[in-house]
Chains A and B, each alone.
Chain A
Amino acid sequence: MKFRFIYLFIGLYFSCVKGLAQEKLYFSQTELGFLYGRGMENWEGKREERMDFTFQTFHGARFTPKQVIGFSVGLDQYQDISLLPIALGYRGFIGKEGKPQIFGGLDLGGGSAVLEKKQEDEWSKSWYEGGIMFSPMAGFKLPSRKGKTALSFTFAYKRQEFSYFQGYFERGNVRPFTTSLLPPGYNSVTETAFLYHSFVFRMGLMF
């Protein structure tokens, strides 16, 4: 079962390379843009807005002339926190070849917090953990006159979960009972779970 996926992947890879050369099986979309979101109400009833940088590159293969599956990686900034989204994606196009087209798509995957440094001292440790990312999108494809490349404009919604953990170690020689609720060696852990809803605008190039 596992191997079947590997074969599929290898097949897909070679078909991409082949596609590049001949039938345009390979598809890529690389875009830059911004994420916009609104924070929770604070005690004054005001809310903070956030507007941050986003980058994404999607690579896939056409399985019908107007539909693509592939994967995307990128970089999303949420205020001070940088996440690396990695997702499986779909893109579908409507419209005539060579003319401006509308497309829609979906990315489903996770945002990784590997870029965030863990902090540790004698008493405590804090770290980030990434979480599920879900992003439906729609946009326009404006092909260049000569054909192969196209400008793309994407509007998307992005739902990103991640968590910040701050744990305090057991102090002294306490031998506590084990529990699945806390990692070993910790006396307490505070988890701050973030669920960010963002509006995304990106623009870039499609091949």
Chain B
Amino acid sequence: MKTKSTLLPFLLVLFFLGLFSSCQDEITTTYTYRTMMPVYLEMSDVRARLITTEPAQPLDNPGKIYIYGDYLFVNEPTKGIHILDNTKPSNPINLRFIPIEGNVDLAVNNNILYADNYVDLLAFDLSNMGDIRLIKRVENVFTHLYRHDTGQIITFKDSVVVTDGNGWRGEGWLMRSDMSFAANFSAAAKSYGTGGSMARFTLMNDHLYAVDESTMRVFDVTKAEDPKFVKPVDLGWGIETIFPFQNKLFIGSNRGMHIYDASTPSSPTRMSVFEHVMACDPVVVNEDHAFVTLRTGNTCWNGINELQVVDIKNPYQPKLKKAYPMLNPHGLGLAGDFLYVAEGQHGLKSFNVSDVMAIDKNQLEFLTSMKSVDLIPGPKSLIVIGPDGVCQYDYSKPNQLKKLSCIQVTNPVIIN
């Protein structure tokens, strides 16, 4: 009797076996991807919002860094600007935050901070750091953001989307999300530090030059508090960085380096284009040479990782003098005869470049632990941007960098 009662469950199990074995395998695909979701804004609404400084906020995902006197201005792409007191580079103090929607770049001139606010250029008075005020708004200058003439702009918001679907459909979306990234967020995403070599706003001879993907916009800031839009200059596609030097503008694009004569500051004219294969390339310049890095691994990959030295004694005919193989060079900075190259995840290199034909033989240091994407040789310290945040180094001995401090970043750069 007892055996029968225990037999029953087993028969039940067998019955379920039969049931289950008749069902088929289930395969489900989910595709999770980052993308930029479009957001439509009326500029009239944006302009109606008051911009007032806020207490210090932690650095989340810093973009451009600008050094102005004892202060560091750190852009939080599309959100605003942090102001830090950098009197002591070993202990920078986060002071306050100016929330500016759509802001990706900035520059400071004569106590006036210039910043973009979607399609407008704003000017803030910094003469009293405790009371920063918006004093001027130049409307409708960065018109590439306009969707149409009605005053509505299109901007994009970071999103992560999860979909059910097949792989092939996923690939299609992936391409699209990348394209939107490249087209719309490039200004924010690529301008790592500036004042450094990946700048997009730059000041020279009382003029502010702002470059976007294809256009340079010139502002007259002779009266610092009253910037005036002068004109746009068409540059061609793929513009990424701008570097001013001795009345010339060196503009890095993904196809080469443009040299513009800005001796008439309001109307820069093209002197020459030094073309090379497709690559993304920051530029730094001294009297005789331009230093350009090409690298793989970003939106314009091509298999080349190089530091190129270009002879620019005759700016109408730049010539490649020598190219040095690199590992994965990102930003670079020049301080006198010393060149610092951010090698991405490989670290940071320093060179003495007094002999441009033998840069490889004059490598001073290769700090493999200092993963970095950009750097700015400032008056007090070398500012290095990398996965550890925003770090400052004493480089008074160029061949022996000494760490001073690191500003923690909640969402640091990821280098692949």
Q: Which residues of A contact B (CB under 8 A)?
A: 36-41, 47, 92, 94-95, 102, 104, 122, 136-138, 155-157, 159, 166, 168-179, 181-182, 184-185, 187-199
Q: Nearest CB to that of B62 among chain A residues? A: A175
Known: A159-B20, A168-B174, A191-B30. 8 other contacts (CB 8 A): A38-B25, A94-B10, A102-B7, A156-B17, A169-B416, A172-B299, A174-B189, A190-B167
B330 at the interface (CB under 8 A from A): yes
| A175 and B31 form a contact (CB under 8 A) | no
Number of interface residues of B (CB under 8 A): 52
Residues of B within 8 A of A195 (CB): 25-28
| B190 and A172 form a contact (CB under 8 A) | yes
Residues of A within 8 A of B416 (CB): 169-171, 185
Residues of A within 8 A of B9 (CB): 104
B39 at the interface (CB under 8 A from A): no
A187-B177, A193-B28 known; A182-B17 Cβ under 8 A: no
Contact of B20 among A189, A190, A194, A197 (CB under 8 A): A197
The proximity string for B residues 267-309 relative to A, scoring 1 for CB distances below 8 Å and 0 otherwise, is: 0000000000000100000000000000001110100000000
Minimum C-beta distance from A174 to chain B (A)? 5
| A191 and B32 form a contact (CB under 8 A) | yes
Q: Which residues of B contact A (CB under 8 A)?
A: 3, 6-7, 9-10, 13-14, 16-17, 20-21, 23-34, 60-61, 158, 160, 162, 167, 170, 173-174, 177-178, 181, 185, 189-190, 192, 280, 297-299, 301, 330, 373, 411-416
| A122 and B297 form a contact (CB under 8 A) | yes
Residues of A within 8 A of B373 (CB): 173
| B29 and A188 form a contact (CB under 8 A) | no
| B61 and A104 form a contact (CB under 8 A) | no
Q: Nearest CB to that of B161 among chain A residues? A: A181
| A187 and B158 form a contact (CB under 8 A) | no
Q: Nearest CB to that of A183 among chain B residues? A: B32
Residues of A within 8 A of B30 (CB): 190-191, 193
Residues of B within 8 A of A194 (CB): 25-27
**Cα of A155 to Cα of B13 in the assembled complex, Å:** 10
Contact of B33 among A39, A188, A197 (CB under 8 A): A188
Q: Nearest CB to that of B33 among chain A residues? A: A188
Minimum C-beta distance from B384 to chain A (A)? 14
Residues of A within 8 A of B20 (CB): 157, 159, 197, 199
**Cα of A193 to Cα of B190 in the assembled complex, Å:** 36
**Cα of A179 to Cα of B160 in the assembled complex, Å:** 8
Residues of B within 8 A of A157 (CB): 16-17, 20-21
Q: List 13 A-B contacts (CB under 8 A).
A: A41-B24, A95-B3, A138-B14, A170-B414, A171-B298, A175-B412, A184-B414, A190-B32, A190-B170, A193-B27, A193-B30, A195-B25, A197-B26
Q: Nearest CB to that of A36 among chain B residues? A: B21
**Cα of A41 to Cα of B77 in the assembled complex, Å:** 48
Residues of B within 8 A of A92 (CB): 6
Residues of A within 8 A of B60 (CB): 177
For the residues of A in contact with B, the DSSP-based class is strand
| A138 and B24 form a contact (CB under 8 A) | no
**Cα of A17 to Cα of B32 in the assembled complex, Å:** 51
Minimum C-beta distance from B200 to chain A (A)? 14
**Cα of A104 to Cα of B5 in the assembled complex, Å:** 14
| B17 and A189 form a contact (CB under 8 A) | no
**Cα of A188 to Cα of B159 in the assembled complex, Å:** 12
| A177 and B158 form a contact (CB under 8 A) | yes
**Cα of A189 to Cα of B167 in the assembled complex, Å:** 10
Residue of B9, B24, B185 with most chain A CB atoms under a 10 A cut-off = B24
Residues of A within 8 A of B173 (CB): 188
Residues of A within 8 A of B189 (CB): 172-175
| B10 and A102 form a contact (CB under 8 A) | yes
**Cα of A97 to Cα of B27 in the assembled complex, Å:** 44
Residues of A within 8 A of B14 (CB): 138, 155
Listed from nearest, the 9 A-B pairs whose CB atoms lie closest are A172-B298, A188-B33, A199-B21, A195-B26, A104-B10, A157-B20, A169-B416, A38-B24, A181-B160
Q: Nearest CB to that of A189 among chain B residues? A: B32
Residue of B6, B162, B416 with most chain A CB atoms under a 10 A cut-off = B416
| B3 and A188 form a contact (CB under 8 A) | no
Q: Nearest CB to that of A78 among chain B residues? A: B25
Q: Nearest CB to that of A198 among chain B residues? A: B21
Contact of A197 among B23, B181, B412 (CB under 8 A): B23
| B34 and A136 form a contact (CB under 8 A) | no
**Cα of A199 to Cα of B173 in the assembled complex, Å:** 38
